[in-house]
């Protein structure tokens, strides 16, 4: 479906809303912007592995002790999962075979409806309304599951929603029944046990905004209140809790009390185990790493002719020791001895393959300073096809693999924002070895006044994780969140406070913290780390491209797909290429530039996903 066709659908949805929706002076709740077509494609892949019953509210949704009172008197109607039901269209006309609406009402703070059905692979499915739209492309299975969120919808008013499957339109409707003063009181316990040296538990649930929450026990307590969305979340540590003995935990929500139990499973006995990670390196600063477990307080020492390092194992019983080598000769395999509590344990080996003068590489720095709110440094030149380049700085890094053309066009955007007028180094590595160090200066100093942004959700255990910040800002302020796994933004309509959620378009790897950058009006404001604890099941190898043609300079395309976590993906063509690795959720995505590609001449791009090949066409349309 073309952009013009999609626009016509949006217009028809808006015209219908004028007829059916009566203006009501009720408060509305702002919602995150819906995803673009690229995010829709990635989201469709992620949905296939996500739980359809995940609550879209908190970072911990493990099933545990679950108590709820004051049930809603207006429940969402549900059609059982896995059933494609034939429903009549709203105008009483022909039935919409193979398509149905999952829910026509919602009491959630972020209202949405879902459409489930079947269509030919490659069909564009678009849902439009006066309060939001969403789209996706049907995959090889021939089935689709599209979620449409509504922004600014009035409560208690029924409005039309149009679902376009290819060139066929289906009419539906939706009613939002959110009432912040009548939110169900629910309490959920995340774990029930913990094997951490300092055990902890997470409780979460729903309650009317501002409701006080208290958690009490013999070994720890916590308190807070329900957020304005009717959600709450608290983490409590149990210092000195007995091992293996369950003890009671009481959770108070407003005037109601709920009882739970918790057991610490920490085992202080740890067996010694160690393995070496990395036996060779081409870097100018080579190192190896020793990872293992030992009893807390154990002394670990590694020694070689070119460096040594020691540490004392901490309370967790785990250690990670990194040994750097200085002056190691090229190509020589040398021994490393490891001692435990000052007694010899084992011998390991390492080889440095550093080449200080890579042949055929000529790279220069393009710019040395910037006054822009999003500063960047660029490198350009030539290098043999397949050469791996990495630019490193204390304000971010970037990488690329040189394509068959041998041309280098390489940008590093800095995040967090460097301090104004302070010169700092950027190191460029070629195939793991230092090629050069370049200075850069940013002159931008634009932190806005009168705006505050505070992270409030920084971890998750759900299959559909999100980060969340609380903000206060003047009207017209643009607040944005950026990460390697997705972005989100909002423009404030009035001076005051609110919340912004960042839903991740691809599932982050389990247990690996990654930065989320906060920008206000395009300027860097701050950053925080987010951690997802959810691990997706094994996935098949797939690949797709987003555009197939490009009028930008330099030209590029975006490739994405699925593969088992850690799988190497290599993208190559006659005019450029790149490599990436599948993340912990089994998803991958990579932007590839095609410098020097001829105009209006199609060429082939090969995507190697762990040995499985996929082929795509690419055309550059503008000089």
Residue count (the chain): 623
Nearest to 453 by CA among 476, 473, 433, 467: 473
Q: Average of pLDDT values for 266-277?
A: 85
Whether pLDDT at 309 is above 90: yes
Contact 296, 268 (CB under 8 A): yes
* Backbone phi and psi for residue 251, each to the nearest 5 degrees, phi listed first: -120, 120
pLDDT tens profile 161-173 = 999 999 999 999 9
Report the alpha-carbon distance of residue 8 to residue 128 in Å, rounded. 10
pLDDT tens profile 5-49 = 333 333 333 333 333 333 333 333 322 333 333 334 334 333 333
pLDDT tens profile 341-399 = 999 999 999 998 877 667 788 999 988 888 776 788 999 999 998 888 999 999 989 88
User: Which percentage of the chain shows pLDDT scores above 90?
Assistant: 40
Helix (H) or strand (E) holding 46: helix 37-47
Listed ranges 67-71, 327-331, 381-385; the one with the highest mean pLDDT = 381-385
Other beta carbons less than 10 A from residue 341's beta carbon: 13
**CA dihedral of residues 576, 582, 587, 593 (deg, nearest 10):** -10
Instruction: State residue 446's pLDDT score.
Output: 59
Q: What is the mean pLDDT of the chain?
A: 80
Domains of the chain in sequence order: 3-178 (no CATH), 181-264 (2.60.40.2550), 285-352 (2.60.40), 362-442 (2.60.40.2550), 452-532 (2.60.40.2550), 544-620 (2.60.40.10)
Per the structure block, which two tokens stand in for 230? 């009717």
Q: Any residues with CB less than 8 A from the CB of 562 and at least 6 apart, and which?
A: 45, 539, 540, 541, 542, 582, 586, 587, 588
């Amino acid at each position: 479906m073309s952009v013009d066709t999609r626009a016509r659908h949006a217009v028809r949805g808006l015209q219908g809303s004028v007829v059916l929706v009566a203006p009501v002076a009720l408060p509305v709740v702002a919602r995150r912007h819906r995803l673009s077509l690229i995010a829709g494609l990635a989201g469709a892949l992620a949905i296939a592995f996500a739980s359809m019953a995940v609550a879209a509210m908190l970072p911990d949704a493990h099933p545990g002790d679950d108590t709820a009172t004051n049930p809603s008197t207006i429940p969402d109607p549900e059609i059982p999962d896995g059933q494609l039901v034939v429903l009549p269209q709203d105008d009483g006309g022909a039935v919409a075979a193979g398509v149905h609406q999952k829910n026509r009402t919602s009491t959630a703070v972020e209202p949405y409806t879902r459409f489930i059905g079947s269509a030919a692979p490659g069909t564009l499915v678009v849902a439009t309304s006066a309060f939001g739209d969403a789209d996706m492309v049907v995959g090889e299975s021939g089935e689709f599951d599209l979620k449409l969120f509504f922004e600014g919808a009035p409560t208690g008013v029924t409005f039309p929603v149009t679902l376009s499957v290819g060139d066929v339109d289906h009419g539906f409707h939706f009613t939002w029944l959110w009432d912040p003063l009548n939110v169900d009181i629910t309490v959920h316990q995340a774990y029930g046990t913990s094997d951490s040296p300092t055990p902890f538990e997470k409780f979460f649930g729903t309650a009317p905004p501002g409701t006080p929450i208290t958690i009490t026990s013999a070994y720890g307590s916590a308190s807070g209140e329900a957020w304005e969305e009717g959600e709450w979340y608290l983490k409590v540590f149990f210092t000195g809790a007995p091992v293996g003995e369950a003890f009671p935990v009481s959770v108070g929500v407003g005037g109601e009390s709920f009882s739970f139990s918790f057991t610490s499973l920490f085992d202080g006995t740890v067996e010694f185990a160690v393995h070496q990670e990395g036996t060779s390196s081409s870097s100018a600063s080579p190192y190896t790493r020793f990872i293992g477990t030992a009893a807390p307080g154990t002394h670990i020492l590694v020694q070689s002719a070119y460096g040594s390092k020691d540490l004392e194992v901490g309370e967790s019983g785990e250690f990670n020791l990194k040994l750097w080598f200085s002056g190691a000769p090229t190509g020589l395999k040398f021994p490393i001895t490891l001692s435990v509590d000052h007694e010899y344990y084992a011998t390991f080996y390492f080889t440095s393959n550093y080449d200080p003068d890579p042949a055929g590489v000529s790279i220069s720095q393009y710019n040395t300073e910037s006054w822009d709110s999003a500063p960047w440094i660029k490198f350009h030149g030539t290098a043999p096809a397949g050469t791996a380049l990495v630019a490193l700085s204390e304000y971010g890094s970037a990488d690329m693999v040189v394509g068959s053309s041998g041309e280098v066009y390489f940008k590093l955007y800095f995040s967090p924002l460097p301090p104004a007028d302070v010169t700092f180094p950027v190191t460029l590595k070629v195939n793991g070895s230092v090629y050069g160090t370049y200075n850069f200066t940013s002159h931008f100093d634009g932190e806005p006044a009168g705006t505050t942004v505070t992270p409030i959700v920084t971890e998750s255990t759900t299959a559909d994780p999100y980060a969340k910040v609380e903000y206060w800002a003047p009207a017209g302020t643009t607040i944005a969140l950026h990460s390697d796994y997705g972005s989100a933004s909002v423009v404030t309509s009035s001076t005051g406070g609110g919340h912004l959620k960042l839903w991740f378009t691809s599932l982050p790897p389990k247990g690996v913290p990654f930065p989320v950058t906060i920008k206000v009006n395009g300027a860097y404001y701050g950053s925080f780390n987010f951690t997802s604890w959810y691990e997706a099941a094994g996935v098949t190898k797939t690949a797709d491209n987003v555009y197939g043609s490009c009028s930008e300079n330099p030209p590029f395309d975006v490739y994405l797909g699925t593969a088992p976590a850690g799988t190497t993906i290599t993208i190559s063509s006659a005019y450029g290429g790149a490599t990436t690795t599948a993340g912990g959720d089994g998803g991958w995505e990579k932007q590839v530039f095609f410098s020097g590609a001829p105009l209006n001449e199609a060429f082939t791009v090969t995507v190697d996903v762990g040995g499985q090949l996929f082929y795509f066409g690419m055309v550059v349309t503008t000089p």
